[in-house]
A = this chain, B = another copy of it.
Amino acid sequence: MPNTTLTLKSAASEKRNRQDYFNIAVSVDCVILGYENKELKVLLIESDLEEFNGLNSLLGDLVGPDEDLDTASYRVLKDRTGLDDVYLEQVQSFGNINRHPSGRVVTTAYYSLLDIRNHRLQLSHNEVSWHTVNDIKKLAFDHKEILDTCLKRLREQVMERPIIFNLLPSKFSLRELQEVYEAILGVGLDRRNFRKKIMLKDWMTDLKEMETDVPHRPGKLYKVNAL
């Protein structure tokens, strides 16, 4: 890093020296979401801090000096899931003074959407596991607040932009798609109205294939357009 002084001026900066300002660590935390068994799930790891004995936390890491924030969260995702082509979006930063018991850490939260079924294997070698979002009462640090904030953002965006398809396999039926929406939004949806509305958005293409291995009349399969 260059030796140039930082030249922002304020009452606060005049009173403090350079070391004070570089005494804050920067991290990213990823709310990695998947869908399985009609439930929205999030990838968590058991916290290894005594302060949070037994509690789970989101997956995150400190940001290295040569990493962008986005690069750091992609790295976390890659390390934890083996995936590098996953949807990832910055949500908000959390910087309360006492949010980390080991020191001052400002974190930037991302949410990520992936298809659990494609990636179950890569997780088996560590302590990371999927948890049903609705069952989560408490997490380490301020991670419950981060989770809730990310879920709120996801709910706001899920009808606006074609992001939900990241949670599904490349071929899916309208029933599966509707179930994912219902899991995220926490409401039941009318099937006919749902189909009308979703078709209007021009997000999907009819694959002219049918479901197999369902114990009932099979539905048509679709794929997302130009994800």
Interface set of A (CB-CB < 8 Å, partner B) = 1-2, 4-13, 16, 20-27, 48-49, 60-70, 72, 75-76, 79, 90, 92-97, 100-106, 108
Complex Cα gap A26–B95 (Å): 10
Known: A24-B26, A25-B22, A26-B24. A4 touches B65 (CB 8 A): no
7 contacts between A and B (CB under 8 A): A4-B102, A6-B105, A8-B61, A10-B76, A13-B61, A24-B65, A95-B108
Q: How far is the CB of A189 from chain B (nearest CB, A)?
A: 22
The answer to whether A106 and B2 touch across the interface, beta carbons within 8 angstroms, is no
Residue with the highest number of chain B CB atoms closer than 10 Å, among A8, A12, A68, A104: A8
Residues on B with beta carbons closer than 8 Å to the beta carbon of A75:
10-12
| Pairs of residues from A and B, 5 with the lowest C-beta to C-beta distance, nearest first | A69-B95, A4-B102, A93-B93, A10-B61, A1-B103
The answer to whether B20 and A106 touch across the interface, beta carbons within 8 angstroms, is no
